[in-house]
Amino acid sequence: MRKGYVETPIGQVHYREAGEGPPLLLLHQTAWSSIQFRNAMAPLASRGVRAIAIDTPGYGMSDNFDHPPSIIEYATVLSSVMDGLGLTKASIAGHHTGASIGAAFASRNPARVQKLVMHGVPLYTPERRAERLAQPHFDQTPKADGSHLSSRFQRALGTTPKASLEAVHWSTVNFYVAGPTEWYGHHAAFKYDMAADLTAIKSPTLIISNTGDTLHAMMPQIQKMRPDFTYKTIEGGTFHIVFDDGANWANVVADYIVGVA
């Protein structure tokens, strides 16, 4: 695996890359980083995909916005990332907030998106979005007894009790590495009215959902809106499935990007 930075208007964007073949940009959920794809990179590469996992601005090692950005602003940075990587066209696979960024990008830049994969599409109702936006941010203030870390870990495990402890650990680490603006990604996702962009997508699109994901319930509605999309349901899993089951996830994605092996 190789890592690097791309220059963009908001500063440096960090990425991890593996493999050769058709390029596939991987966009993580909030508040992770490209580490989410750690276990999927080599399997994707072995299937002949050039996998490029991006640290969304404000996460991992990427520079941040100076204000809470919108999903569309994240998508605009993605254009600069593609320019910096010399890619006129690529496939995109986004998970949760990453799926929102993928939808916003694909609907605005149809000529630049070969194929789109969205896993866990956060197509919330306006009521649910307003409710989530009203929730207070988690207090990151460090405590000498380390309880700021263990309490976050406990909460993260509580929302996804079937995930591996390793995944919950790395979600906690990524959350604190993102720092006091860790909520930017969720804020953008809950502000984002995805429905219009979903309707406008012209690229061939695969929707992945796993039955153990909190966003699985949104599948029927998406299917109703876009019966022309391809759908794939994975049994079980959590919203850490990309980290916990990277090899299988990579196969599902590669089957769609380069064809069934």
For residue 253, the minimal CB distance to other proteins (Å) is: 25
d(CA 94, CA 77): 15
The minimum distance between CB 58 and other proteins, in angstroms, equals 12
180 binds other proteins (CB under 8 A): no
**Does residue 176 contact residue 141 with C-beta atoms inside 8 Å?**
no
End-to-end Cα distance, the chain: 23
Q: Which of 20, 130, 137, 154 touches other proteins (CB under 8 A)?
A: 154
Question: Does residue 149 belong to the site contacting other proteins (CB under 8 A)?
Answer: yes
Residue 142 interacts with other proteins (CB under 8 A)? yes
Binders of other proteins in range 98-127 (CB under 8 A): none
Q: Is 221 exposed, middle or buried (0-12, 13-18, 19+ CB in 10 A)?
A: middle
Residue from the set 42, 72, 87, 157 that interacts with other proteins by CB under 8 A: 157
| Between 62 and 91, CB nearer to other proteins | 62
User: Least distance to other proteins from the beta carbon of 174, Å?
Assistant: 9
Candidate residues 169, 191, 226, 232; the one interacting with other proteins per rule CB under 8 A: 169
Q: Is 152 in the site for other proteins (CB under 8 A)?
A: yes
At 210, give phi and psi (nearest 5°): -120, 140
Q: Which is nearer to other proteins, 181 or 205 (CB)?
A: 181
**What is the smallest separation between the CB atom of 8 and other proteins, expressed in angstroms?**
13
Provide the token pair at 21: 């073949």
Counting every residue written for the chain, the total comes to 261
49 residue type, one letter: V
Report the candidate in 261, 252, 250 with the shortest Cα–Cα distance to residue 51. 250
CB burial of residue 145 (10 Å; 0-12, 13-18, 19+): exposed
CA distances from 42 to 55, 100, 256 (A): 18, 25, 17
- Please give the size of the binding site for other proteins, defined by CB under 8 A: 31
- Give me 169's structure tokens: 């650990």
Quick one: how far is CA 197 from the chain centroid? 17
**46-54, 87-95, 130-138, 148-156 -> range binding other proteins (CB under 8 A):** 148-156
Looking at the Cβ atoms of 89 and 162, the one nearer to other proteins is 162
73 — phi, psi (to 5°)?
Answer: -65, -40
Q: Is 66 in the site for other proteins (CB under 8 A)?
A: no
Interface ranges with other proteins (CB under 8 A): 2-5, 11-12, 14, 61, 63, 142-154, 157, 165-166, 168-169, 172-173, 176-177
